[in-house]
C-alpha cells in the first residue's frame, strides 16, 4: 500500500492530503470563496497568489494531522491538468520541489481522475468496470471506467457544464457566487413543478436526440426569458424559491435520464458520481430513485469529497504509484487535457 502526499491547486481551493491506499490520513482544504465572491466569479491571478500564500501552512497542517514523518511517505503527487494554468503551476512546482528535496517519486495527476477516485475513498470495495457521472463547474461527462488510467467518454455537455449553469442562473437571480449551494438551499422551499423548463436535448443529423450528451445553454436562456417575462408582468418580488426549484429539478432530471440510459445500454451495474454538483440534493434524490428501479448501485462521495480536495488526488496517485507509473520533472501544467489521455502524464 502506497502512502502519498498530494497537492491540489487547480482552481480556487488550496488542498493538501496524505492518503494510504484508500485511507485518508489527513486532508486540509482552504477555500477562496470569500475572496472571489466580491468579483462574482474566480479571478485566476488572485487564485494563484492565494495558493502561494496558503500552501506552506497547509502542508505543515497535513503532516501534523497525519502524524507521520517524511520517511513514511512513498511519493508526492500534484494536479497538473486540467485547470487554471497559473494555479496549477503553484501546486505542481511545490510538488516537484518536495519530491526532489525528500528524494521521493513524483506523479502529475489529472484533476478529473481525482474526482473519480473520490468514490474509492467513499467505497473502498469499488472496482472497475463502472460508469462515472462527472458533474462540476467546468465538466459534465459520462465516463466508462475500465481500469486505472483507462477511460472512455460516453457522453458530455455540448456547451455549459452543469455547475457553470448553476452559477449563471444564480447570478441571474441575484443570489451571488457560488450558485450551486444557494440554489440547492432555496429550492427546498420551492415548487419544482412551478415552471416547466427545457432539458436541452442534442439533435442528431439522422433524426432523434443523442441519448447521453447534454446541453445547458438553452436552459440558461429559458431561465433568462422566464425572469424577463415575470418582471414585465410586474411580479415583484420574483418567486425565487420556485425558480430555483424548477431549474434544479430540470438539471437533475436531465442528468439522471442520461446517466441511467448510458449505464443500462452499456451493461454497467454500478454508477459512481464525482464533482461539485454531486453534492446537489435533488440530483442525489432523482438518481438514487431511478437507479433503484433498475437495480443499479449508485455511489455518491461524502460532501467533503465532492468539491475539490487533495485526498482524491492522493488516492488516484496511490493506484498509479502501485502500478509503477511515475512523472518526469519536465511535466508542465495544462489548462486542458482529455481524461482519455491521462497516461500521457507518466514517463519521461
Kindly indicate the confidence band of residue 348, based on its pLDDT and cuts at 50, 70 and 90. low
Domain limits for position 157: 129-305
**110 and 133 share one domain:** no
pLDDT the model gives residue 6: 98
Classify burial at 210, counting beta carbons within 10 Å of its beta carbon; exposed 0-12, middle 13-18, buried 19 or more: middle
pLDDT of residue 309: 97
User: Are 32 and 148 in a shared domain?
Assistant: no
Note whether residue 74 is domain-resident.
yes
Tell me, yes or no, whether 124 lies in a domain.
Answer: no
Q: Do 107 and 220 reside in the same domain of the chain?
A: no
Work out the pLDDT band at 169, boundaries 50, 70, 90.
very high
- 171 and 278 part of one domain: yes
Domain-embedded: residue 95:
yes
Q: What predicted TM-score, i.e. pTM, was given to this entire model? A: 0.94
User: Residue 29: inside a domain, yes or no?
Assistant: yes
- SS3 assignment for the chain: CCEEEEEECCCCEEEEEEEECCEEEEEEEEECHHHHHHHCCCCHHHHHHHHHHHHHHHHHHHHHHHCCCHHHCCEEEEEEECCCHHHHHHHHHHHHHHHHHCCCCEEEEEHHHHHHHHHHHHCCCCCCCEEEEEECCCCEEEEEEEECCEEEEEEEECCCCHHHHHHHHHHHCCCCCCHHHHHHHHHCCCCCCCCCCCCCCCECCCCCECCCCECCHHHHHHHHHHHHHHHHCCCCCCCHHHHHHHHHHHHHHHHHHHHHHHHHHCCCCEEEEECHHHHCHHHHHHHHHHHHHCCCEEECCCHHHHCCCHHHHHHHHHHHHHCCCCECCCCCCCCCCCHHHHHHHCEC
Flag whether 176 is in a domain. yes
Report how far residue 77's alpha carbon sits from residue 342's, in angstroms, rounded to the nearest whole number.
Answer: 14
Average pLDDT in the 297-326 region? 97
Instruction: List pLDDT tens digits, range 68-123.
Output: 999 999 999 999 999 999 999 999 999 999 999 999 999 999 999 999 999 999 99
Do 228 and 92 belong together in one domain? Answer: no
CB 244 within 8 A of CB 189: no
Mean residue pLDDT across the chain: 95
> What would you measure as the largest C-alpha separation in the chain, in angstroms?
68
Closest among 346, 278, 257 to 135, alpha carbons compared: 278
Query: How far is Cα 215 from Cα 213, in angstroms, rounded to an integer?
Result: 7
Residues 16 and 100: beta-carbon distance below 8 Å:
no
Q: What is the mean pLDDT of residues 242-262?
A: 97
d(CA 92, CA 80): 6
Sheet holding 270-274, edge to edge: 150-156, 140-147, 130-135, 270-274, 297-299
Residues 206 and 270 placed together within one structural domain of the fold: yes
Specify whether 152 is located in the same domain as 276.
yes
Counting the structural domains of the chain, the total is 2
In a domain, 123, yes or no: no
Are both 228 and 82 inside the same structural domain?
no
Q: Is the peptide bond before 307 cis (omega within 30 degrees of 0)?
A: no
Same domain? 280 vs 186: yes
Q: Are residues 187 and 102 in the same domain?
A: no
Is residue 110 included in any domain, yes or no?
A: yes
For the cut 80, the answer to whether the pLDDT of residue 39 exceeds it is no
State the pLDDT at residue 260. Answer: 98
The domain that contains 169 carries what CATH number?
3.30.420.40
CA distance 342 to 84: 17
The pLDDT, as a whole number, for residue 31 is 84
* Residue 291 sits in the same domain as residue 311: no
Answer yes or no: is 108 within a domain: yes
Assess whether 168 and 278 both reside in one domain.
yes
Burial class (CB in 10 A: 0-12, 13-18, 19+), 129: middle
Q: Which residue has the higher pLDDT, 178 or 73?
A: 73
d(CA 119, CA 334): 25
Amino acid at each position: 500500500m502506497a502512502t502519498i502526499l498530494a497537492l491540489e491547486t487547480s482552481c480556487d481551493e488550496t488542498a493538501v492530503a496524505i492518503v494510504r491506499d484508500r485511507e485518508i490520513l489527513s486532508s486540509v482544504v482552504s477555500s477562496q470563496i470569500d475572496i472571489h465572491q466580491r468579483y462574482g466569479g474566480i479571478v485566476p491571478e488572485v487564485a494563484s497568489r492565494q495558493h502561494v500564500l496558503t500552501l506552506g501552512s497547509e502542508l505543515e497542517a497535513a503532516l501534523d494531522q497525519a502524524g507521520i514523518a517524511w520517511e513514511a511517505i512513498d511519493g508526492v503527487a500534484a494536479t497538473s491538468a486540467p485547470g487554471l494554468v497559473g494555479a496549477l503551476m503553484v501546486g505542481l512546482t511545490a510538488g516537484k520541489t518536495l519530491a526532489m528535496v525528500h528524494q521521493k517519486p513524483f506523479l502529475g495527476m489529472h484533476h478529473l481522475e481525482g474526482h473519480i477516485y473520490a468514490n474509492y475513498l467513499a467505497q473502498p470495495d469499488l472496482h472497475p468496470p463502472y460508469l462515472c457521472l462527472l458533474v462540476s463547474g467546468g465538466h459534465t461527462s459520462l465516463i466508462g471506467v475500465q481500469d486505472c488510467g483507462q477511460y472512455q467518454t460516453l457522453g458530455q455537455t455540448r456547451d455549459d457544464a452543469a455547475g457553470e449553469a448553476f452559477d449563471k442562473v444564480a447570478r441571474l437571480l441575484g443570489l451571488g457566487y457560488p450558485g450551486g449551494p444557494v440554489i440547492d438551499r432555496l429550492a427546498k422551499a420551492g415548487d419544482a413543478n412551478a415552471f416547466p423548463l427545457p432539458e436541452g436535448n442534442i439533435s442528431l443529423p439522422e433524426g432523434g436526440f443523442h441519448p447521453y450528451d447534454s446541453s445547458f445553454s438553452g436552459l440558461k436562456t429559458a431561465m433568462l426569458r422566464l425572469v424577463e417575462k415575470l418582471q414585465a408582468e410586474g411580479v415583484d418580488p420574483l418567486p425565487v424559491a420556485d425558480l430555483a426549484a424548477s431549474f434544479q429539478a430540470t438539471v437533475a432530471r436531465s442528468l439522471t435520464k442520461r446517466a441511467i440510459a448510458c449505464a443500462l445500454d452499456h451493461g454497467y451495474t454500478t454508477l459512481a458520481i464525482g464533482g461539485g454538483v454531486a453534492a446537489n440534493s435533488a440530483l442525489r434524490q432523482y438518481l438514487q430513485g431511478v437507479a433503484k428501479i433498475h437495480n443499479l448501485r449508485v455511489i455518491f462521495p461524502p460532501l467533503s469529497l465532492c468539491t475539490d480536495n487533495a485526498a482524491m488526488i492522493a488516492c488516484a496517485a496511490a493506484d498509479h504509484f502501485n502500478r509503477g507509473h511515475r512523472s518526469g520533472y519536465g511535466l508542465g501544467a495544462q489548462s486542458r487535457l482529455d481524461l482519455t489521455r491521462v497516461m500521457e502524464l507518466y514517463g519521461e
